[in-house]
Amino acid sequence: MKPLRVSLAEKRFGDTTALAGVSLELEAGELLALLGPNGAGKTTLVRAIAGRVRLDAGRIELGGRLAEERGARDVLGVVPQDIALYGMLTPRENLELFGRLHGLGGTALSDAVGWALGWTGLEDRSRELVKTFSGGMKRRLNIAAGVLHRPRIVLLDEPTVGVDPQSRERIYEMLTELRREGASLLLTTHQLDEAESRCDRVVIIDHGTVVGAGTLSELVGRLFGGRRTVVLTLDRAPEMPLPGLELEPGERTARAMLGDAVDELPALLGRVRAAGFEVEDLALHRPGLGAVFLALTGRELRE
Amino acid sequence: MIGTIMKTSLLHLRRDRVVQALTFLLPIAFFSIFALVFGGRGTSGSEVRVDVGVVDEDGSAVSTRLLAALEKEKGLEVSRTVKVREAQEPLDRERARALVQAGRLDIAVVAPKGFGAAFPGFFPGAPEVEILADPSNPIAAQMVVGLLQKVGMTALPDLLARRGMEAFERYAGVLTPGQRAAVDQWLQHLQAGAVAAPRGDAQPEPMGSGLVRTKVVDVIRERAPRTGIIAFYAAGVGVMFLLFMASGAGGALLEEAEAGTLERLLTSRLGMGRLLLAKWVFLTLLGFAQVTVMFVWGALVFGLDLWGHLGGFVVMTAVTAAAASGFGLVLATLCRSRQQLGGLSTIVILIMSAVGGSMFPRFLMSETMQKAGLLTFNGWALDGYLKVFWRNAPTLDLWPQVLVLSALAAGFMLAARLLARRWEAA
């Protein structure tokens, strides 16, 4: 049984179609990245799963139960993009509040709060007001407040936005710990490198539909086969176009996509030399998530 | 440079409707309200009307004519009977006193035995007309005393002259037959003129004061000497600040929506209904504490008799705080931002406080404005507090105020719940 299954989700806001039949599945214990350009429908989908948006059509199942069923969403933890904490309360008071609202009480609550303070590394600051914390500390506490009741499925909306690399690393360590304990995670992010290096699978949506889903290898294989990108550094910036190469104006770098690098590379290097240039450096890359995203959506993620 | 900064300021002003309203509409609204409260006495529809009970213990021709003339005065609504068990019975001194104490009459006039025989009251020891007054309405007492002097001169000129001549004869000697005939003819003329005088329009010639000897009796203070105008101000200021507190604290909901904590609360097991209920209960308790602190201060520092009216105070404060909290939540759920809430609540609360009597007693306003005051939250709340602290009314007598304020609390909560739907699942 899949922890989360979204089938043919549709949602319109007036004349705008936010979701036009999105389907996706979250596997047990996996970390799934949900990617898409701005306005693609990511937030609407996450809010629909969280119960904050009513679908016009389609269904959402959580642990095999329809999400609308009473108590079905109890297995869900939601970590919003905003720092949704009370600045005038201490971390302990915030955690106790959200723990109670998720049904915890008594020893279970104090145990959960103790765990969360340790998990976030905020034990020493547990009696200070949250408004005095750094951005990274608030982010960690923001995540803890959403997972305090130890949900089986965690939705994270941009959990690392605006934090320094050190805090980001700490946040991913925390997420890894959650996965180890059996939670399945769905996160939205604009950080392609994070999605590429940290997530098991990615789902890319655009214009309210899924345009690609799978592991990075599967997506690259599907879109680019065995093709590789070659990046050449020349001795000087070319002033005229070079056949078969993409150039950056004024730059010494030149790129080309090769179907079979072993066969095609010698001919390419020969053409460069014939044009009067020397190759100072050469790198061969498998296309990454950026290339996949661009190929599927026609846009850079940041656009 | 200066022009650029001014243009930017103008663009901000053009796009901020709340600031526009505060800048232009609020002064106009306040000017209009105060003009209506203080200046609305020129037209007949908005005149101050004083309800007067009249008791004629003397039953003489003088008292009958005097009180009948008083009845014709504009601005007085005179009653001589009271409804007792479905039957109209004549007012007597005790009934009139009780009606003034209960606030059902603004004032009562009692002509005592022997008043007519001693009229005009030129001589010491003459019986005085008693004015049974509620000191919360000083205008009514001054108005009735003044009108009594006026009708004393305009309704009884023949009697004044006759008694004047009698006094003259007693101290200066008897008139000759010729003088007597001339005086009799003049007296007849005076009496005819008094009867023919049109309603309320007679212009008395100045003859000094004190023709009708009067004694103003404070029927409120004689029962509760320690309560006074302090009770009115405690209630008026208390209710106004209760509304400010409730709308300000209700605004926490908007902050939560902006900060994202509301989103988080709504993804928990807590629904919007329970969230609003929790906030309403908290605001009601906070409001109760706020008003209690103020009244305790009033009791300790200004001698307000809180302990003697504790039951009524608790009932009124509970329903007032409940309704004010509901009102604060309606404003908070109606507004889109904290700034909007600040502007709107300032306008609405100050207008309600002015019309409802928090700043200026409603009983001193024109009748139209007094009725308009009942459309406001403050009007009902203040009526209740005045019943408790001013009129010493038993707690059970507060039922109209309790009913209306409870209904308002329920209505406000329903409205807030409906308005809060915008934050629920889209």
- Interface residues of B toward A, Cβ cutoff 8 Å, are 259-261, 263-270, 425-426
> Is the four-CA dihedral B3, B7, B13, B14 of positive or negative sign?
positive
Residues A159 and A245 in one domain: no
Residues A162 and A254 in one domain: no
Whether A10 maps to a domain, the answer reads yes
Residue type at position A198: R
Residues A189 and A273 in one domain: no
The answer to whether the peptide bond before residue B120 is cis (omega within 30 degrees of 0) is yes
Residues A30 and A148 in one domain: yes
d(Cα B132, Cα B105) in Å, to the nearest integer? Answer: 10
Residues A168 and A42 in one domain: yes
Radius of gyration (Cα) for chain A, nearest Å?
Answer: 23
Residue B43: per-residue pLDDT = 47
Determine whether the interchain pair B259/A84 forms a contact, defined as Cβ–Cβ distance below 8 Å: yes
Residue B144: per-residue pLDDT = 86
Residues A16 and A107 in one domain: yes
Q: Would you write out chain A's pLDDT as a tens digit for each of its 303 residues?
A: 899 999 999 999 999 999 999 999 999 999 999 998 888 899 899 999 999 999 999 999 999 899 989 889 989 999 998 899 999 899 999 999 999 999 899 999 999 999 999 989 999 999 999 999 998 899 999 999 999 999 999 999 988 888 888 888 888 988 999 999 889 999 998 888 888 888 999 999 999 999 999 998 898 888 888 888 899 999 999 888 888 888 888 889 998 888 888 888 898 999 899 889 999 999 988 888 888 888 888 876 654
Kindly write down the DSSP assignment for every residue of A107-146, as one continuous string: HHHHHHHHHHHHHHT-GGGTTS-GGGS-HHHHHHHHHHHH
| Angle, in degrees to the nearest 10, between helices B310-334 and B272-302 | 140
Is the pLDDT score of B367 beyond 60?
yes
Q: Residue A51 is nearest to which of B259, B265, B267, comparing CB atoms?
A: B267
Determine whether the interchain pair A84/B263 forms a contact, defined as Cβ–Cβ distance below 8 Å: yes
Which residue of chain B comes nearest to A55, CA vs CA? B426
Tokens of B387: 């019943």
Whether A301 maps to a domain, the answer reads no
Which residue of chain B comes nearest to A148, CA vs CA? B268
Q: What residue ranges in B147-263 does DSSP mark as E strands?
A: 214-218
Bridge partners, residue A241, by sequence: none
**Phi and psi at residue A188, to the nearest 5°:** -100, 145
pLDDT band of residue B124 (cuts 50, 70, 90) is low
Tokens of B210: 């004190």
d(Cα B332, Cα B257) in Å, to the nearest integer? Answer: 11
Determine whether the interchain pair B259/A50 forms a contact, defined as Cβ–Cβ distance below 8 Å: no
Residue B202: per-residue pLDDT = 41
B253, B258, B264: best to mutate for the A interface, most A CBs within 10 A: B264
Determine whether the interchain pair B268/A98 forms a contact, defined as Cβ–Cβ distance below 8 Å: yes
DSSP-based helix, strand, coil % in chain A, nearest 5: 35, 25, 35
Residues A43 and A179 in one domain: yes
d(Cα B311, Cα B330) in Å, to the nearest integer? Answer: 29
Residue type at position A128: E
Interface residue A99 vs chain B (CB under 8 A): no
Residue B317: per-residue pLDDT = 95
- Domain borders along chain B are 44-155+197-218, 224-423
Arithmetic mean of pLDDT, B217-239: 71
**Angstroms from B256 CA to nearest CA on chain A:** 8
Whether A292 maps to a domain, the answer reads no
d(Cα B267, Cα A154) in Å, to the nearest integer? Answer: 12
CB contacts of A82 in chain B (<8 Å) are: 259-260, 263
| Angle, in degrees to the nearest 10, between helices A165-180 and A135-147 | 10
With CA atoms as reference, report the closest residue to B97 among B234, B267, B241, B217. Answer: B217
Number of domains in chain A: 2
The CATH architecture of the domain made up of B44-155+197-218 is: 3-Layer(aba) Sandwich (3.40)
d(Cα B257, Cα B420) in Å, to the nearest integer? Answer: 11
Residues A232 and A207 in one domain: no
Core vs surface per residue B190-219: b (16+ CB within 10 A) or e: bbeebeebeeeebeeeeeeeebbbbebbeb
Residue B41: per-residue pLDDT = 46
Cα distance between the two ends of chain A: 37
CA distances from residue B265 to A86, B253, B258, B279, B328 in whole angstroms, order as listed: 11, 11, 13, 13, 20
Tokens of A210: 């899924």
Is the pLDDT score of B13 beyond 90?
no
Residue B20: per-residue pLDDT = 75
d(Cα B255, Cα B335) in Å, to the nearest integer? Answer: 11
Sequence-distant (6+) residues with CB within 8 A of A144 are A95, A116, A117, A119, A120
CB contacts of A47 in chain B (<8 Å) are: 426
Q: Three-state SS for B309?
A: helix
Residue A278 and residue A235 in contact, taking contact as beta carbons nearer than 8 Å: yes
Beta-carbon-side half-sphere exposure of residue B49 (alpha carbons within 13 Å): 15
Q: Of B3 and B309, which is predicted with more confidence?
A: B309
Whether A53 maps to a domain, the answer reads yes
Bridge partners, residue A212, by sequence: A204
Tokens 């309600």 correspond to B352
Residues A212 and A254 in one domain: no
> ipTM score here?
0.82
Residues A161 and A249 in one domain: no
Residues A144 and A276 in one domain: no
Whether A195 maps to a domain, the answer reads yes
Q: What residue ranges in B167-230 does DSSP mark as E strands?
A: 214-218
Size of interface A-B (CB pairs under 8 A): 46
Residue A26: per-residue pLDDT = 94
Range of the domain at A268: 228-286
A55, A70, A98: best to mutate for the B interface, most B CBs within 10 A: A98
CA distances from residue A70 to A51, A62, A109, B374 in whole angstroms, order as listed: 12, 12, 22, 46
pLDDT band of residue B237 (cuts 50, 70, 90) is confident
Interface residue A97 vs chain B (CB under 8 A): no
CB contacts of A102 in chain B (<8 Å) are: 268-269
Residues A203 and A62 in one domain: yes
Q: Three-state SS for B123?
A: coil
Measured over all CA atoms, what is the biggest interatomic distance in chain A, rounded to whole angstroms? 79
Interface residue A239 vs chain B (CB under 8 A): no
Residue type at position A178: L
CATH number of A232's domain: 3.30.70
Is the pLDDT score of B180 beyond 90?
no
CATH number of A114's domain: 3.40.50.300
d(Cα B63, Cα B119) in Å, to the nearest integer? Answer: 9
Residue B74: per-residue pLDDT = 80
Bridge partners, residue A143, by sequence: none
Within 10 angstroms of residue B19's Cβ, the number of other Cβ atoms is 14
Is the pLDDT score of B260 beyond 70?
yes
